[in-house]
Amino acid sequence: MSAITPGEALKQIAAGDLAPVYLVLGDDDLEKAEVAGAFEQAVDEGLRAFNVERLDGAEATLRQVVEAAATLPMMAPRRIVIVRRAERCLAPKRESRAAAADLAAFEEYLASPYPHACLVLVAAGLDRRRRTTARLLDAATQVMGDELASVADAERWVRRRVSAAGRSIDAAAVRLVAARAGPDLPRLRGEVERLLLFIGDAPAVSLDDARMVAGPAAAHDDWAVARAIERGQAATALRELALIVESGAPPYMVLGQLAWVVRTRMPNQRIAAAVESLYRTDLDLKSSAGDHRVLLERLVAELCDA
């Protein structure tokens, strides 16, 4: 079925134009919780106890999900069933006749959902190789939240979030905030929320505002060393590392960024050597086997030539 943004989902909910099945996906747990909460708000407050059911996929079975949707609403046109951590019940840990029967019942429901129910499945990720997942993706309206993989993604997220708050933001301020947090949604959200709180009723966020909130150390692009490693530019990476260390960044924050590069950006043929270098540096930092700056410089040089 169609894929919509969280903002479009909120508009559908406000208009009362609900699809029978929604699948809420994305990296931002808070955003997913906000969308799920909006579905709950679609039912009159006095009737929510009778017409809103919340299930946890780590505890409920798909049979229970279908039974919850089958229950008729009371004094309302629609019943809302919200399943958080839905990926748990969609991929049962143990294969059994009961699990297979539950999957079959759920697939049958997807083929012909009850008109009186709105089923909202909130998931962190799905195994797309499974038949049930394929049928769910075909039947559900997918609410696709943000998935960030780079600083450029973070910059786009900052612009959208500030715009959604009715403000504008200077391009240099966007770059500074995104460079400080990187593609880390919880941290990025915190940075933007602090920034919006700081400017109060002002219509725009300036670079000076971002610097005031971020502090002096944030004026440097913390992710520049990661990008240089990704490109194999050892001299640039070491120069950027020096700036980060001299700004007072904790060694383990830098190590975490380098681990992110290895996990997400390193070519397959280089991963084994890179992981070995990370592991050795982690042990050396914990055991104080050398100056932390020298240890990180050694790691950066090795990652550039892993």
Is the predicted pLDDT of residue 149 greater than 80, yes or no? Answer: no
Query: Which pLDDT tens digit goes with each residue over 39-66?
Result: 998 899 889 999 999 999 989 999 999 9
Residue range(s) in the chain whose domain bears CATH number 3.40.50.300: 3-144
Confidence grade of residue 118 (pLDDT, cut at 50, 70, 90): very high
Mean pLDDT taken over the chain:
86
CATH class of 224-304: mainly alpha
Tokens of residue 2, six digits: 């169609």
Higher pLDDT, 229 or 149: 229
User: Where in the chain is CATH 1.10.8.60?
Assistant: 151-219
Q: What is the pLDDT of residues 273-303, one digit of tens each?
A: 889 999 899 898 888 778 888 999 999 999 9
Residue 119: pLDDT over 90: yes
Match domain 3-144 to its CATH number in 3.30.565.10, 3.40.50.300, 3.40.718.10, 3.20.20.70. Answer: 3.40.50.300
- Its CATH architecture, for the domain 151-219, is Orthogonal Bundle (1.10)
Beta-carbon count within 10 A of 262 CB = 19
Domain with CATH 1.20.272 in the chain: 224-304
Cα three-residue angle 145-34-124, rounded to 5 degrees: 45
Position 217 scores a pLDDT of 43
Closest C-alpha among 107, 111, 108, 149 to residue 131 = 107
Give dist(CA 197, CA 178) in Å, integer: 17
